[in-house]
Amino acid sequence: GQNIDQPTEMTATEGAIVQINCTYQTSGFNGLFWYQQHAGEAPTFLSYNVLDGLEEKGRFSSFLSRSKGYSYLLLKELQMKDSASYLCAVRADGSYQLTFGKGTKLSVIP
């Protein structure tokens, strides 16, 4: 089976940096995804890691350690529009099935 854990809520200040952690225990692994979901909207793709290391994409970076079953999403220079839920998802081998964590609701305050 698959189990994915991430914090339920986080609060950070505009302009700051925030790190959202995700730990997973899976029977197979073929990639970890981060999605952003604003209230009432569809999840939008942020990043994908399949090898260990850091992937940087503008203000967003994602890190993966397969041996530790651990990933984080780093958001820099926070803006108010970054207030959203951030979903960590793992893909099993050879399958399209994504198993999602419950999501981390990030609130950015002035």
What are the residues binding another protein (CB under 8 A)? Answer: 30, 33, 35, 41-45, 48, 87, 89, 91, 94-103
CA distance 62 to 49: 7
Looking at the Cβ atoms of 49 and 78, the one nearer to another protein is: 49
Name the percent of the chain in helix, strand, coil, to the closest 5.
Answer: 5, 55, 40
Looking at the Cβ atoms of 70 and 100, the one nearer to another protein is: 100
Looking at the Cβ atoms of 13 and 95, the one nearer to another protein is: 95
